[in-house]
Amino acid sequence: MPSTAIVWLRRDLRVHDHPPLAAALAAHDQVVPAFVLDPALLHGRFASAPRTAFLLDCLRELEAALRERGGGLVVRHGAPERELPALARDAGATAVYWASDATPYALARDRRVREALRRAGVEAIRGPGNFVADVGRARTKGGKPFTVFTPFHHAWSALERRPLLPAPSRLPALPRGLDRGALPSLAQLGLGGGDALAAPAVQAGEAAARDAFAAWLAGDLAAYGDRHDRLAVGSSRLSPHLRFGTLSPREVEERAQRHGGAGAAAFTRQLAWRDFFAHVLLHHPGNRLHEHQQPMRALAWDDDAALLAAWQDGRTGYPLVDAGMRELRASGWMHNRARLVVGSFLTKDLQLDWRAGEAWFMRWLLDGDVAQNNGNWQWIALVGVDPAPAFRRLLNPTLQQRRHDPDGAYVRRWVPELRGVPDERLAEPWRMSEAEQAAAGCVVGRDYPAPVVDHAHERRRALERYRAASAARAT
């Protein structure tokens, strides 16, 4: 009898360089690609209508790509530990393949699925596919996990890389009579509220991802090392595709390295950061709820709903902060330099809990990923791994704007009420005279908010708070 396997797709929504799919095709006559819409994720702590809409679009394109090759996609809705054994029974499958992940939820879910499959007599086979390298293998010389990026990067660079895999030209047909299910709409999932994006940053799906990556390799990659902090340019915008696996991280690394040059080296270093934060959460799962640095758990955060709302809405009176937050709400994405600035502003200018920022980002980001988001928020809040003195990550939004958006192109795009403000006043519009405000068509306090806090005052206050926490650590 022909043997059948299921390939359980999660965040590897592609046909190119897909290790679980390739392994299943090599060992079985029939292969059933399947996606399980998990209510625990769709409606969980970090539910997101924009990201779910992007997911559904990726799945629709993947379904078409599988059909073009003779196969198809099976969709189920429910707990994976219930749906996958039932699908294996219906398909006559003896094995389920999937790519391993690193988050606490993924690990707990996979344990439940393995146990359910074992009880059903179905083999569970995990493999690579979601990261450049095996994030569980990197170790210090003492055999411990890393908590500082630079030594991790050295070890990560030396890890073995698997070979790239071609996309299959043909796929076996799905078993006859198997219910394929159907992809729902966002409204059918109960996520059709008011969180739609006005201008999504990227187009969903593998075809768009590969086109964008090819254009990046041929164009801006060479200058990435020099321009990656420039807010109006300099970013690949590939992060949503890496998040959902419409691009293989391993393929991105190899093709960038093949391109060569300083830009490629700087770009692949960012891929190492992605693997680093997955490595950290894999070995420190408690970070998802509390600060990695135990003394910092005593930091007393302010609780000011009005200031939080001003930050969320891009109404702080600091143009770069507001531009970043408005870009997020409109496009589901934000330039990395802007993420650092708005993160520093929330935690050190507004003195608000980093977890409020983490949750807001996860609500809107197309590339919202628990490990990356948590790691980056703890990094900028100075409570996580890879620690640094407080003053090094206490970013002045005015200086950051002048340095990384010198011509104001980024700020003027996302904060249109400032378009008439001259360059020399754009970073601090509140310093314009009444005559200058009238000439610019922007009256501060009416057309654009006055600053909600004084940066110099809040900087001193933040340094004192972190100094007190550090002193507590030393005692």
pTM, entire model: 0.97
Phi and psi dihedrals of 75, rounded to 5? -115, 130
- Tokens encoding 444: 């501060």
Residues present in the chain in total: 475
Q: Residues in the chain with pLDDT < 50?
A: none
The answer to whether the beta carbons of residues 130 and 124 sit under 8 Å apart is no
Q: What is the pLDDT of residue 470?
A: 81
- Please give the CATH topology (third level) of the domain spanning 4-130: Rossmann fold (3.40.50)
188 Cβ contact partners less than 8 Å away, ≥ 6 residues apart: none
Tell me the one-letter amino acid at 164: L
Give the SS3 label for residue 190.
coil
Q: What is the pLDDT of residue 475?
A: 53
Q: Buried b / exposed e across 357-374, counting CB within 10 Å, b at 16+?
A: bbebbbbbbbbbbbbbbb
- Tokens encoding 439: 């000439």
Residue 50 bridge partners (DSSP): none
Residue found under tokens 């592609």: 14
Q: What is the pLDDT of residue 126?
A: 97
286-342 tens-digit pLDDT: 999 999 999 999 898 999 999 999 999 999 999 999 999 999 999 999 999 999 999
Q: What is the pLDDT of residue 389?
A: 87
- Please give the CATH topology (third level) of the domain spanning 294-474: DNA Cyclobutane Dipyrimidine Photolyase, subunit A; domain 3 (1.10.579)
Report CA 222 to chain centroid distance, whole Å: 24
Q: What is the pLDDT of residue 390?
A: 86
Q: What is the pLDDT of residue 474?
A: 56
Q: What is the pLDDT of residue 260?
A: 94
| Helix residue spans in 69-192 (DSSP H) | 80-91, 104-119, 149-158
Q: What is the pLDDT of residue 303?
A: 96
The answer to whether the beta carbons of residues 338 and 323 sit under 8 Å apart is yes
Closest CA to 201 of 47, 418, 50: 50
The answer to whether the beta carbons of residues 41 and 101 sit under 8 Å apart is no
Q: What is the CATH number of domain 131-163+207-283?
A: 1.25.40.80
Strands 30-37 and 4-9 come out as parallel
Distances (CA, A) of 456 to 83, 128, 164, 235: 56, 48, 51, 30
Fold match, 131-163+207-283 / 294-474: no
Q: What span, in angstroms and rounded, lies between the C-alpha atoms of 144 and 253?
A: 26
Domain boundaries defined on the chain: 4-130, 131-163+207-283, 294-474
Q: What is the pLDDT of residue 310?
A: 98
Residue found under tokens 């999937």: 98
Q: What span, in angstroms and rounded, lies between the C-alpha atoms of 246 and 229?
A: 25
Q: How many alpha carbons lie under 13 Å from residue 323 in its C-beta half-sphere?
A: 31
